[in-house]
Amino acid sequence: MMIWCYGLQRIVEPLINDLKICHLSLKLRCYRFEHDKRINIMNEIRSQYHFRKVKNDLLIWDVKKIIELTKNIKPKIINLTEIKEIESEYWYDSSSERPTCKNIVDHMRLINNADLKYPIILCKEGKIIDGMHRVCKALLLNNKEILAIYLEEDIKPHFINVDVSELPY
């Protein structure tokens, strides 16, 4: 166990030192939503989906479409303690994914590459639709707050009960 912790510490400490550049409040003040830049960023975002199991149905939202819907909503700073899913099995509770070493490393890469200048998106119940890797990065950096956009209305799912392998990526 000590070897693993030491190895993880060697990986994480340089990242923390490199990434602790600004305070979140400064990021919010510096946050500029420029439509042209947003379009370029949208082209760079990997295809991804938000899944939620409701009763016997698997509801699926296209994250790019949700980001586009939120482009004119000003983000606010929220405390990480407001995020209900921090203590959940977020990526593994309703999917066929299992927390294998490779899968965990894949998520670690996404966490390391996450950019905290982009707000997370929460549904009106406070559940994450987009941004859990950013939340994990904020936790890793010992941040107390994060930029967030709350959706005020429910968004209809883009797919219902579609096999994950059939989604367009």
With a CB cutoff of 8 Å and minimum separation 6, the contacts of 111 are 133, 136, 137, 140
Q: Residue 155's pLDDT is what? A: 86
Can you give the residue ranges of every domain in the chain? 23-166
pLDDT tens-digit profile, the chain (169 residues): 444 455 555 555 555 544 443 444 444 444 444 444 444 555 556 678 878 888 888 888 898 999 998 988 999 999 999 998 888 877 776 566 788 899 889 989 999 999 999 999 998 888 898 999 999 999 999 999 999 999 988 889 888 888 877 877 7
Torsion angles phi and psi, residue 60, rounded to 5: -135, 130
Q: Residue 16's pLDDT is what? A: 53
Q: Residue 10's pLDDT is what? A: 56
Sign for the CA dihedral angle at 131, 133, 139, 141 comes to negative
Q: Residue 53's pLDDT is what? A: 83
SS3 156: coil
Rounded-to-integer distance, Cα 54 and Cα 67, Å:
22
